[in-house]
Structure 1
Amino acid sequence: MTPCLELLVLSLATPILGLQSLHDDSHFTRRTYVTPSTTSSSYDYIIAGGGLAGLVLASRLTENSSVTVLVLEAGDTGDAVASIINTPAATYYTSLLGSSYDYAYKTVPQSGANNRILNWPRGKVLGGSSAVNGMYLVRPNPAEVNAWHNLIAPNGTTAADNWSWDSLLAAMKQSENFTPPIAAVESVAGMQYQNSSHGTNGPLQASYPAYMVPVAGTWLPTMQAAGIPTSADADNGNNLGAFFATSAINPTNWTRSYSRSAYLDPASARTNLHVLVNATVTQVTWANNSVAGDLVASGVEYSTGLGAAVNTVTANREVILSGGAVGSPQILMLSGIGPSDVLEAAGVSVKLELPGVGQHLQDHLAAGVTWETRNDTQGSIYFSGSNFSKTPEFLSFVNSGIAYVNGSFLYAGNASFATFCESITGNVTNSSLTLVPSQYSQVVEGYKAIYESLANAIMPNSGIVEILLSINAPGAIVIQAALQIPFSQGRLYINSTSVFDQPLIDPQYFSHPADVTTMRQALKAVRQIGNTSPLKDILGAELTPGPTVVTDSDWEAWIRNNAATEFHPTATCAMLPEAQGGVVDANLKVYGTSNVRVVDGSVFPISFSAHLMASVYGLAEKAAVIIRAAANPSTTSASPSPSISTLSNTGSTKSGASSTSPTTLGWHLVAVFLLTFV
Structure 2
Amino acid sequence: MEEWDVIVIGAGSAGCALAGRLALSGRDRILVLEAGPRDLNPWLHLPIGYGKTFYHPRLNWMYRTEPQPGLAEREIYQPRGKVVGGSSAINAMVYMRGQAEDFDGWERMGNPGWGWPDVLATYRRMEDHALGASAWHGAGGPLHVEDISKAVHPLTPLFVQAAQEAGLPFNPDLNGETSEGAGIYQITTRGGLRESAARAYLHPARRSGRVKVDTGILVSRILFEGKRAVAVEGWRGAERVRYRAQSEIVVAAGAINSPQLLQLSGIGAPDALARHGIATVQALPAVGRHLQDHLCYDHVYRSRRPSLNEDLLSWPGRIGMALTYLLQRRGPLSLSVNQGGGYLKTRSDLDRPDMQLYFSPLSYERALPGVRALMKPDPFPGFSTSVSPCRPHSRGHVAIRSPDPRVAPEIAPNYLSDPRDVVDILAGARFLRRLAATPSFAALIESEIKPGPHCADDAALLQSIRQQAYSVFHPCGTCRMGPDPADSVVDPQLRVHGLEGLRVADASIFPTIPSGNTNAPAMMVGERAADLMGAR
TM-score, normalising length from structure 1?
Answer: 0.73
> Deviations along 1:182-206, whole A, 9 cap, x unmatched?
xxxxxxxxxxx98542111111111
Structure 1 partner of 2:117 = 166
Percent identity of paired positions between Structure 1 and Structure 2: 30
**Contact map agreement 1:208 1:249 (CA 8 A) in 2:** no
**Contact map agreement 2:301 2:450 (CA 8 A) in 1:** yes
Structure 2 partner of 1:587 = 493
1:374 aligns with one of 294, 304, 307: 304
Structure 1 partner of 2:295 = 365
Instruction: Output the CA distance in 2 between the equivalents of 1:564 and 1:624.
Output: 34
Letter in 1 for 2:475: P
Q: Which has the larger radius of gyration?
A: 1
Instruction: Output the CA distance in 2 between the equivalents of 1:533 and 1:471.
Output: 18
1:388 aligns with one of 311, 320, 328: 320
> Deviations along 1:474-495, whole A, 9 cap, x unmatched?
5111001112211110111112
1:204 aligns with one of 124, 139, 143: 143
Indicate the SS of the match to 1:71.
strand
Question: Is residue 2:463 matched to residue 1:550?
Answer: no
2:105 aligns with one of 142, 147, 172: 147
Instruction: Output the CA distance in 2 between the equivalents of 1:316 and 1:569.
Output: 31
**Contact map agreement 2:174 2:342 (CA 8 A) in 1:** no
Q: CA deviation at 1:270?
A: 2.7
Instruction: Output the CA distance in 2 between the equivalents of 1:237 and 1:164.
Output: 16
Structure 1 partner of 2:411 = 505
Q: Which runs of 4+ in 1 moved over 4 A?
A: 193-196
Structure 1 partner of 2:335 = 397
Structure 2 partner of 1:91 = 50
> Cα–Cα, structure 1 residues 52 and 59, in superposed 2: closer, same or farther, change >3 Å?
same
Instruction: Output the CA distance in 2 between the equivalents of 1:243 and 1:150.
Output: 31
Indicate the SS of the match to 2:248.
strand
1:331 aligns with one of 261, 277, 288: 261
Q: CA deviation at 1:339?
A: 0.8
Structure 1 partner of 2:383 = 477
Structure 1, gaps ≥5 residues long: 1-39, 154-159, 181-192, 290-294, 415-459, 630-637, 639-678
Q: CA deviation at 1:226?
A: 0.2
Instruction: Output the CA distance in 2 between the equivalents of 1:104 and 1:550.
Output: 35
Question: Is residue 2:29 matched to residue 1:77?
Answer: no
Instruction: Output the CA distance in 2 between the equivalents of 1:148 and 1:243.
Output: 27
Question: Is residue 2:127 matched to residue 1:218?
Answer: no
**Contact map agreement 2:136 2:177 (CA 8 A) in 1:** no
Structure 2 partner of 1:536 = 442
Letter in 1 for 2:17: V
Indicate the SS of the match to 1:589.
coil
Question: Is residue 2:200 matched to residue 1:249?
Answer: no
Instruction: Output the CA distance in 1 between the equivalents of 2:285 and 2:179.
Output: 35
Matched ranges for 1:508-657 at <5 A: 508-628=414-534, 638=536
Structure 2 partner of 1:54 = 15
Instruction: Output the CA distance in 2 between the equivalents of 1:530 and 1:71.
Output: 48
Q: CA deviation at 1:271?
A: 2.6
Letter in 1 for 2:116: W
Q: CA deviation at 1:316?
A: 0.3
Instruction: Output the CA distance in 1 between the equivalents of 2:31 and 2:66.
Output: 34
Structure 2 partner of 1:231 = 171
**Contact map agreement 2:345 2:355 (CA 8 A) in 1:** yes
> Cα–Cα, structure 1 residues 98 and 84, in superposed 2: closer, same or farther, change >3 Å?
closer
**Contact map agreement 1:345 1:495 (CA 8 A) in 2:** no
Indicate the SS of the match to 1:534.
helix
Question: Is residue 2:346 matched to residue 1:407?
Answer: yes
Indicate the SS of the match to 2:386.
strand
> Cα–Cα, structure 1 residues 341 and 58, in superposed 2: closer, same or farther, change >3 Å?
same
Instruction: Output the CA distance in 1 between the equivalents of 2:403 and 2:256.
Output: 15
Question: Is residue 2:28 matched to residue 1:67?
Answer: yes
Structure 1 partner of 2:367 = none
Q: CA deviation at 1:514?
A: 1.1
Instruction: Output the CA distance in 2 between the equivalents of 1:383 and 1:578.
Output: 54
Which stretch has the larger CA shift, 463-472 or 356-365? Answer: 463-472
Question: Is residue 2:246 matched to residue 1:316?
Answer: yes
Instruction: Output the CA distance in 1 between the equivalents of 2:38 and 2:216.
Output: 8
> Deviations along 1:165-220, whole A, 9 cap, x unmatched?
0111111111111124xxxxxxxxxxxx9854211111111113473211111122
Letter in 2 for 1:211: A
Letter in 2 for 1:87: L
Indicate the SS of the match to 1:555.
helix
TM-score, normalising length from structure 2?
Answer: 0.92
Q: CA deviation at 1:310?
A: 1.8
Matched ranges for 1:112-123 at <5 A: 112-123=70-81
> Deviations along 1:210-268, whole A, 9 cap, x unmatched?
73211111122211110111224432341121121210011xx3111111111122222
Which stretch has the larger CA shift, 120-129 or 237-246? Answer: 237-246
> Cα–Cα, structure 1 residues 207 and 217, in superposed 2: closer, same or farther, change >3 Å?
same
Instruction: Output the CA distance in 1 between the equivalents of 2:432 and 2:346.
Output: 14
Structure 2, gaps ≥5 residues long: 364-379
> Cα–Cα, structure 1 residues 534 and 195, in superposed 2: closer, same or farther, change >3 Å?
farther
Question: Is residue 2:277 matched to residue 1:347?
Answer: yes
Instruction: Output the CA distance in 2 between the equivalents of 1:614 and 1:498.
Output: 32
Question: Is residue 2:58 matched to residue 1:100?
Answer: yes
Larger strand proportion of the pair: 2
**Contact map agreement 1:142 1:165 (CA 8 A) in 2:** yes
Instruction: Output the CA distance in 1 between the equivalents of 2:20 and 2:61.
Output: 24
Instruction: Output the CA distance in 2 between the equivalents of 1:267 and 1:405.
Output: 40
Q: CA deviation at 1:609?
A: 1.1
Question: Per chain length, whose mean CA-contact separation is higher, i.e. which structure has more relative contact order (CA < 8 Å, sep 6+)?
Answer: 1
**Contact map agreement 2:68 2:412 (CA 8 A) in 1:** yes
- How well do the aligned residues superpose, as a CA RMSD in angstroms? 1.7
Structure 2 partner of 1:431 = none
> Cα–Cα, structure 1 residues 96 and 549, in superposed 2: closer, same or farther, change >3 Å?
closer
2:233 aligns with one of 297, 301, 313: 301
Instruction: Output the CA distance in 2 between the equivalents of 1:127 and 1:471.
Output: 27
Letter in 1 for 2:23: T
**Contact map agreement 2:16 2:526 (CA 8 A) in 1:** no
Indicate the SS of the match to 1:139.
coil
> Cα–Cα, structure 1 residues 51 and 519, in superposed 2: closer, same or farther, change >3 Å?
same
> Deviations along 1:502-527, whole A, 9 cap, x unmatched?
00001111111111121111111101
Instruction: Output the CA distance in 2 between the equivalents of 1:370 and 1:361.
Output: 29
Indicate the SS of the match to 1:478.
strand
Letter in 1 for 2:76: L
2:351 aligns with one of 444, 458, 461: 461
**Contact map agreement 2:362 2:381 (CA 8 A) in 1:** no
**Contact map agreement 2:230 2:501 (CA 8 A) in 1:** no
Structure 2 partner of 1:271 = 209
Letter in 1 for 2:5: D
**Contact map agreement 2:99 2:514 (CA 8 A) in 1:** yes
Instruction: Output the CA distance in 1 between the equivalents of 2:176 and 2:312.
Output: 34
Letter in 1 for 2:346: G
Structure 2 partner of 1:36 = none
Letter in 2 for 1:202: G
Q: CA deviation at 1:561?
A: 1.2
